[in-house]
Amino acid sequence: MNIYVESPEELGSLSIKMLIKDAATDLNLSRLIDDVRVHVMLDPFLFYISVVKNPAPSSVDIDDFLTITDEEDDVLKMEITDEMYAPYLLQLLWDRFGEKNVNQTRRNILEVKAKKDEIMSLPVYKLKERESGGMIMDLIHRIIPIGLRIVHKMPGEMAYLASENTITEEGIKMIEEAISRPPKELTITEEDFMPRMSKEEK
């Protein structure tokens, strides 16, 4: 995942880059994203962010994240081995079998009144698209600074412009001109930013 951040101050750019990196790691998104680009303008204050998803084909099989542990009287006991898929799988199970037939006994343990072949034939390939779209939007919301209540959709699959005030056509044109140029790499790194441990602390 490539992260490009441009703002009036390099230290601020590095802070945003580190925030994006940490948030993407928390959401397990690094493998799903090719590029994240942020451009900050001060006058007027505008915050641009765009995310380019990994174009590589992504597929998922149900046994990648679900294990059937027991079967008794048409009730299957299952363990979700990758909790990232839990909310999407639950919705899929509710839609297919009805909420009354899906019992979540623990966060990652389910009991479902269904047959094994019905579970194994669920269209889980759709989960990958739901997962990536929802998680990336979560990432974007985490990165846009609090207080920028005006958000404008920009051209591109996932590109947004945020501001605390009304976004004008002039502001949009200024950002479009800025992002039409290749992003500049930062000259400082996380090692420069974070205090190093002294020999005595090691």
Is the model's pLDDT at 201 over the cut of 70?
no
Per residue, the 3-state secondary structure of 78-138, as one string, reads EEECCHHHHHHHHHHHHHHHCHHHEEEEECCEEEEECCHHHHHCCCCHHHHHHHHHHHHHH
Encode pLDDT of 135-145 as tens digits. Answer: 888 999 999 99
Encode pLDDT of 1-55 as tens digits. Answer: 999 999 999 999 999 999 999 999 888 788 788 999 999 999 889 999 999 988 6
Is the model's pLDDT at 196 over the cut of 60?
no
Q: For 188-199, what is the mean pLDDT?
A: 64
Strands laid side by side in the 75-80 sheet? 66-72, 75-80, 109-113, 102-106
What does DSSP say about strands 75-80 and 102-106: parallel, antiparallel, or unpaired? unpaired
Encode pLDDT of 135-176 as tens digits. Answer: 888 999 999 999 899 999 999 879 999 999 999 999 999 999
Q: Rounded to two decimals, what is the model's pTM? A: 0.65
Encode pLDDT of 80-120 as tens digits. Answer: 988 777 777 888 899 999 999 999 888 889 999 999 899 98
The secondary element (H helix, E strand) that includes residue 40 is: strand 33-42
Is the model's pLDDT at 126 over the cut of 80?
no
Q: For 53-71, what is the mean pLDDT?
A: 78
Residue 193 is predicted with a pLDDT of 65
Residue 56 is predicted with a pLDDT of 59
**Which residues sit opposite 159 in a β-bridge?**
50
Residue 130 is predicted with a pLDDT of 61
Residue 21 is predicted with a pLDDT of 94
Is the model's pLDDT at 195 over the cut of 70?
no
Contacts of 188 (CB under 8 A, 6+ apart): 10, 11, 14
